Structures are given as C-alpha cells and as structure tokens.
Amino acid sequence: MTKRALVTGVTGQDGAYLSQFLLEKGYEVHGVVRRSSHRGVEDHRLRWLGISGKVTLHDADLIDLSSLLRTVQDVQPDEIFNLAAQSYVASSWRQPVLTANVTATGVTNMLEAMRLGAPGARFYQASSSEMYGLIQEPMQSETTPFYPRSPYAVAKLYGHWITVNYRESFGLHASSGILFNHESPLRGVEFVTRKVTHTVAQIKLGKTNELRLGNIDAKRDWGHARDYVRAMWLMLQQETPDDYVVATGVTTTVRDMCRIAFDHAGLDMEKHLIIDPAFYRPAEVDVLLGDSSKARRVLGWTPEVNLDQMIREMVDADLERLRREP
C-alpha cells in the first residue's frame, strides 16, 4: 500500500527536498502550511523542484493544536516529519516568545495531535546542532551535554527532550535527528551560506560591490540538505525509535566558505568582504563539529555532497536566478 507522509514546514528548504525524496519513493505527501497573506508565493521552493502540484497542502499552525489534530485525523499519516520552526537564530533574540511558542511548544502540540489522532504513526523531530552551543566536547555526538546559546537553541532543546519524553511515556515511535548545518540553493537568503552565494552572484553581475558579515572565524560542519533529508527518512524506517547526529565530520570557517564562493565566481574576496560588528551574535557559537558515527553504523547513512560542491551549486543557482530577473 502507498505510504502517506505529513510534513510540517513543507515549504522550507528541508520540507521541499524531503517531499521530493518521498514522492520518488512512491509516498503520498501532505504538507502543513500557515495561513498567509502572501498566497501563491509560499510554495516557491516546491515549484523550484517541480513538485508543487504533487503535494497536498493543509492549513494548520504549530501553535494551534486543534488545527493540527484535525489535519492528522484527516490525513491519517504513516509518518510525520516535524520540520516547522522559527528557525533563524538571529531572529530568536528579537522574537524570543514567538520562537518559544513555535519551536518549543509547537513540538508538544504536534506530538499531542499524533498521540490522539494517529498514535500508530512514526514521528521525526528536527533537532539542531545549535543545542550544543558552548561545546563541551571537541566533537559532538548523541551523548555530548547540551549548552544552548540562543533562544532558538533553547527552544530546540525543549523540542528535543519533549520528543524523548513522549517516546518513553506513551510508547510512540518518535525519533530526533540532531542535524548539523545543512544548506542548498533553497536556503533562505538570511542564512550565512545563502547570503554569501547570493551576494557573490550579485557582485559578479555588477548589482552590488560588497558583502558584509560578522564573525567569519566561526566554524561550522556544513552538509547538503538533500543528503540530510535522506537521513530523516532512514530514522523512521528503523524498528526502534532513537536519536541520531547527522553531520559530515568536517568543520570549516565562514571565511573559507566565502573563499570557495568568491573563487568559483572568479572574484577576489579581499576586495569585497567587509566585517561589520552589527552582524555579531549576542552570544556566539564558535565551533560545531558533528560525530555521525551512529547514523553511519545503524542507518547506513553517509553524505554524498561535500562543501565545495554545494557552495558552487548555490553560486550557480543564484547567478541563474539573478539573470532571470527583469
């Protein structure tokens, strides 16, 4: 029988790639979208991948349990992927209460909707490497203590532990993926990798002349979203639910990531990159480096796209977008 999946955050980067992956697997895919005044543009990522007409969209909101329960009861999914969140770290300091309501309490609402409406379904929670924050070990694994350094990270930590609690309290098949940074051409332009590739493309085409960034010595473990959504799916195919770190095991500075983008565009980074203190975080996460040995061993997962390939793909996609503009 055809499996049915329900994806929150379906119009985001991960939701779009996951939907594409599930459709290729023969799933019937349903997505949750918030009511918006911008009807007609919210599915642009699904349209970029050519799948917008293949995903059934449902109006619901993570902060409204009744809408989630109604959606779960209507869809009766076999698998639920909870990817929706206020996911921009910088905004979490400006909107801490919203971040808590959506990114933290929203997970409880989704788990409650599943427990009441489809208790036999399998649940995936999108946890985050930002939960490690002020790192307690050089490489972060499933057993590394957490030390969140932003309202976003604190909210994600609640979502992570409430998923564990519902798994242990109610016997739900609920797993969390502690995903390290993962990017793609579908990343929002507010995130540093896409900000870099978009601005580099603008400079290449003569639309601007500078890229302003904050702490370019911060280090991150960057992978491609296409690889990471495959790990999400693999978690829900396991007989026993569990938590897994998903990472490449390679850390790179923002500075070196920028250099890849500028070099690919044939530009001199030193002529265009400006350090702007306005972009520093109130509490910085200096380095993240994931140990995904458990995911590789249990799930059989390995990343297929490296950072150089990903950044070059993102620069090319941004050049294509900008050339299409009037």
How confident is the prediction for the chain on average, in pLDDT? 94
Instruction: Identify the residue with better confidence: 211 or 39.
Output: 211
Whether 152 shows a pLDDT value over 80: the answer reads: yes
Q: For residue 325, what pLDDT is reported?
A: 82
Q: For residue 204, what pLDDT is reported?
A: 97
Report the percent of the chain where pLDDT is more than 70. Answer: 97
Whether 42 shows a pLDDT value over 80: the answer reads: no
300: left (phi over 0), alpha (psi -120 to 50) or beta: left
User: Looking at the domain that runs over 4-183+223-246, which CATH code has it been given?
Assistant: 3.40.50.720
H or E stretch including 57? strand 56-59
Comparing C-alpha atoms, which of 13, 320, 312 is closest to residue 183? 13
91 neighbors 103 (Cβ within 8 angstroms): no
Confirm whether 4-183+223-246 and 192-220+251-287+306-324 share one CATH topology.
Answer: no
Whether 37 shows a pLDDT value over 50: the answer reads: no
Length of the chain: 326
Catalytic residue among 130, 132, 166, 184: 130
Strand pairing class (252-253; 219-220): antiparallel
Q: For residue 34, what pLDDT is reported?
A: 85
Q: What is the mean pLDDT of residues 41-60?
A: 89
Whether 38 shows a pLDDT value over 60: the answer reads: no
> Residue 290 gets which letter from DSSP?
B
Residue 130 falls in the annotated catalytic set: yes
Q: What are phi and psi of 97, to 5 degrees?
A: -70, -45
Catalytic residue among 132, 152, 166, 228: 152
Q: For residue 275, what pLDDT is reported?
A: 92
Catalytic residue among 19, 87, 92, 128: 128
Q: What is the mean pLDDT of residues 206-221?
A: 94
Q: For residue 192, what pLDDT is reported?
A: 94
Report the percent of the chain where pLDDT is more than 90. Answer: 87
Residue 320 falls in the annotated catalytic set: no
Q: How far is Cα 115 from Cα 172, in angstroms, rounded to an integer?
A: 8
**pLDDT tens digits, one per residue of 74-125:** 999 999 999 999 877 878 889 999 999 999 999 999 999 999 999 999 999 9
Residue 161 banded pLDDT, cuts 50, 70, 90 = very high
**pLDDT tens digits, one per residue of 240-252:** 999 999 999 999 9
Q: For residue 302, what pLDDT is reported?
A: 97
Each domain of the chain, given as residue ranges in start order, spans 4-183+223-246, 192-220+251-287+306-324
Whether 263 shows a pLDDT value over 80: the answer reads: yes
Q: For residue 16, what pLDDT is reported?
A: 96
Residue 40 banded pLDDT, cuts 50, 70, 90 = low
- Which of the listed CATH numbers 3.90.25.10, 3.40.47.10, 1.10.240.10, 3.30.70.920 matches domain 192-220+251-287+306-324? 3.90.25.10
Residue 17 falls in the annotated catalytic set: no
Q: Where are the alpha helices (DSSP H) in 103-249?
A: 106-117, 151-170, 192-204, 225-236
Q: For residue 282, what pLDDT is reported?
A: 77
Task: State how far the alpha carbon of 61 is from the alpha carbons of 31, 40, 53, 148, 228, in Å.
Answer: 11, 18, 21, 25, 24
> Residue 129 gets which letter from DSSP?
G
Whether 36 shows a pLDDT value over 90: the answer reads: no
Q: How far is Cα 264 from Cα 258, in angstroms, rounded to an integer?
A: 10
